[in-house]
Amino acid sequence: MPDPSGFDAAHPPTTHIVATVNGRKVARTVPIHYRVIDFVREELKLTGNKEGCGAGECGTCSMFVDGTLIKSCLAPVQKIHGRTVETVDDLDADQGMTVIQRAFHKCGASQCGYCIPGMVMAATSTLRKRPRASLDEIKEGLGGNICRCTGYQKILDAVAMARDVLNGTRPETDLEEAATDSFIGSRTRRLDAPAKVTGAIKYAADLWMPNMLHMQVLRSPHPHARIQRLDVGEARAMPGVECVLTCDDVPGVDNFGVFIEDQPIMARGMVRYVGEGIAAVVAETADIAREAVKRIRVTYDLLPGVFDPFEAMKEGAPQLHGFAPGNICKHTRIRKGDVEAGLGEADLVVQETYRTSALEHAYLEPEAGLAYLEPDGCVTVMSPSQNITHHRHMLARILGRPINKVRMIMSTVGGGFGGKEDMLYQGMLALAAIRTRRPVRYVFTREESIAASAKRHPFSIDYTMGLRRGGLIVATRMIMVSDGGAYAMSTPGVMNKSAILGPGPYTIPNVWVDAIGVYTNNTPSGAFRAFGAFQSEFATESHLDLCAERLGMDPAQLRRLNLMQDGATTHTRQPLDRVAATACLDAALAAARWDPGVPHREARGEPARIDLGGPGTRAPCTLGLGTMATDKETT
C-alpha cells in the first residue's frame, strides 16, 4: 500500500545544500527531510559528532552553525544552506588537539567517549563566549549535555584547566603527561583518549562500507500473540528493497541464549513482549527499509499476557515456554544449617519486603552493527557486544556454519553497563550479509533501544532475620522473586549471583536463600551492572539498618560484629583466607566521619514513623498495568 502522505522513500524529494563545513565548501543534493546531523554524518561521512537521543536531550550531536552551538539532530538541513558549519572532526584544523581536547585528555575526562565530542563542542562554545567563565558559567554552558559514565567532575576540571591555560594563568606544560616511575598510584592516560576527545574513534553507527545496505526491523506491538499470518510480499516488492528476512530464513538452530536456549533471532510463530523483532528489511537506504517495514502485514491472534512474576507462577497463568512449567526460568537455592531452629532461638526476628524496579541502562550509544562477508565466505559482525566469544558461538549455531566462518569484532562501546552483553540483533545482521552478499548496517533509534533491549531485573525480596539481643545474626531467610521477562537472557546467572552474594559478607550459621527468576510478557531482563548483587545487597543492607534500629544499636557496630573474618567460610562453602571487610568498614566510617547518633525512636520505645511507606503515603505508580485485549488484530 502506498504511503497515504504521498512520500516515496525510494525517490524522496530532495534539496540542494551549499555550505562551508570545517573550512571546505561542499555542495550536495540530499533528501529534503534530512537533519543537519544526517547531512554531516551520512552525506559527508564526518562521524565525530554522534547521535545519542535524536531528540535534543543529550547534546552528543552539538556542532556550530555560523559560530552558534546547535543540536544538529533537531535542525533541518536547510538551516545550513549558505552557512558555515564546524564539527568536532576538524576543530583544530588538522593540527592535532585543541587546548580543550588536550585538557579533557589530561584530566581523564572520557570513559566510553560517546558524549565527549558533544562535551568538547559545548566547552568550546562556553569558553569562546566567556573566556574567563566561572565554574557556574561552565556548568551552565555544558547544561545541555549528558554523560552516562565519566561523571561530570573530570569534565568540569578539564574545562577549568583549559580556560586557565588559554588565559595564560596556567602554563601549557600542565597539559602534558607527568613523568612517572610507576603507574601504580599515579594518574595514567587512556591510550584511546585522543581518539575519543577528537571524535576520531569509530563506534558501530560510524562504520561505513562501499555498497552498504541498511536494515530496519518490524517489532511486535503486542506482549503476547500468536502470529497467524506474516505477509512480506509488498515490502519485498518495493524498489530499493534487497530482501526481507523472517525466521524462515534461519539456516541453523534458531534457538539461542546465554544460559537457556529459548530465543529465536526473530519471532517464530509467537511474540512474547512488546518490541520483539518479527521481520528484518534490508534496503538501499534506511528510509526505504523503514517504509518497507510499514508495508509488512501481520495478523495476530492476541493471547492473555502475564506481567507480574507472582501471577505468572500461579496455576492457570498463561505459560510462555513449554519447557518451563509455572513460568519458572531459574530457581537457585542455598541451604545452610537449620533456619527455622535459628529463628526460634533468636531474641529478635525482623521481617520486611524490599522491591527494586526494572531499570534502563540508557547508554548514550544506541545499539548498532555492521556485518559483511569476507572474500573467503567468513561472515563478520562488528557491534559493541560485551560478550563476543559467546556471541560468536551462538551465531555459528544460528547460521549453521563452522566457527571459523563466523567472526565477531567488538566495536568501541559507547556505554554498555551490561546491556550490550545479551545478543539482540547480531543474528539478523549476519543473516542479511550472507543473503545479500553486501555489507549491511543497522542502527537502533533511541525509542527502539528502550523498547527492545533488556533491562535490570526487578526484584521482590522477602527478608527474615533472627538476631541475638547483642546483635549477633543467627539466621537469615531471603526469598527473592524476580521478573525475568519474556526470554531468559542472563536471568539464570543473575539469580545465581543474587543468591550467592545475597546474605552479604556476614557470618551467619543458618541461611536459606531462594532466588526465583520468572518468565513474564515484559521486556526481557538481562545483565546490568552488578548482575543481581545490587538488588539482594540493597535488601540486606537496608535490613541490617532496620535490625539496628530495632536493637537500638549503631548500624556500623552491628555490621562490625557480624562481618566475616580471616579464615571464614562463605554461605556457599568457599573458604576465605584473608578478609579485609572490617578494615574496609572502618576506613569508610573514618572517611565519612561516622557518628552513631542517638538510638532510633523504636529502640527508645516510641512508635514507628508513618511517613515512610505507611498509611497516608502515596501509592506506587501503576501506569501500564492495564489488561490486554484478547481479540484477533491486524496491523
Site residues for ligand FES per CB under 6 A: 51-54, 56-61, 71, 73, 110-116, 147-150, 364, 415
Q: At closest approach, how far in Å is the CB of 363 from ligand FES?
A: 7
Sign of CA dihedral 428, 368, 242, 288: positive
In this structure, what DSSP letter does residue 263 have?
B
Based on CB atoms, which residue is closest to ligand FES, 270 or 364?
364
Q: Which residues of 566-597 are buried (b: 16+ CB within 10 A; e: fewer)?
A: eebebbeeeeeeebebbeebeeebeeeeeeee
Q: At closest approach, how far in Å is the CB of 115 from ligand FES?
A: 3
- For residues 564 and 543, what is the distance between their CA atoms, to the nearest angstrom? 18
Q: At closest approach, how far in Å is the CB of 38 from ligand FES?
A: 11
* Three-state SS at 175: helix
Q: At closest approach, how far in Å is the CB of 193 from ligand FES?
A: 10
β-bridge partners, 587: none
- For residues 597 and 433, what is the distance between their CA atoms, to the nearest angstrom? 65
Non-local (6+) Cβ contacts of 316 within 8 A are none
Based on CB atoms, which residue is closest to ligand FES, 144 or 326?
144
Q: At closest approach, how far in Å is the CB of 78 from ligand FES?
A: 18
Q: At closest approach, how far in Å is the CB of 118 from ligand FES?
A: 7
Based on CB atoms, which residue is closest to ligand FES, 85 or 230?
85
Based on CB atoms, which residue is closest to ligand FES, 72 or 570?
72
Compute CA distances 331 → 259, 327, 367, 512, whole Å: 13, 11, 31, 13
Q: Is the separation of the CB atoms in 521 and 488 below 8 Å?
A: no
- For residues 538 and 534, what is the distance between their CA atoms, to the nearest angstrom? 6
Based on CB atoms, which residue is closest to ligand FES, 30 or 362?
362
Based on CB atoms, which residue is closest to ligand FES, 80 or 218?
80
Q: Which residues of 88-103 are buried (b: 16+ CB within 10 A; e: fewer)?
A: bbbbeeeeebbbbbbb
Q: At closest approach, how far in Å is the CB of 9 from ligand FES?
A: 23
Q: Which three cell numbers, joined as nine digits, stand for 203?
A: 563506534
Non-local (6+) Cβ contacts of 319 within 8 A are 325, 327
Instruction: Determine the longest span between alpha carbons in the chain, in angstroms.
Output: 83
* Three-state SS at 319: coil
Based on CB atoms, which residue is closest to ligand FES, 30 or 149?
149
Compute CA distances 247 → 49, 225, 277, whole Å: 36, 16, 10
β-bridge partners, 63: 70
Based on CB atoms, which residue is closest to ligand FES, 117 or 504?
117
Q: At closest approach, how far in Å is the CB of 50 from ligand FES?
A: 7
Based on CB atoms, which residue is closest to ligand FES, 111 or 332?
111
* Three-state SS at 486: coil
Q: How many helices (H) and strands (E) does the chain have?
A: 17, 23
Based on CB atoms, which residue is closest to ligand FES, 87 or 496?
87
Q: At closest approach, how far in Å is the CB of 129 from ligand FES?
A: 20
CA 121 remoteness from chain centre? 25
Based on CB atoms, which residue is closest to ligand FES, 119 or 162?
119
- For residues 202 and 184, what is the distance between their CA atoms, to the nearest angstrom? 30
Q: At closest approach, how far in Å is the CB of 380 from ligand FES?
A: 26
Based on CB atoms, which residue is closest to ligand FES, 110 or 464?
110
What DSSP line would sit under 240-255, residue for residue?
TEEEEE-GGG--S---
Q: At closest approach, how far in Å is the CB of 71 from ligand FES?
A: 4
Q: At closest approach, how far in Å is the CB of 511 from ligand FES?
A: 39
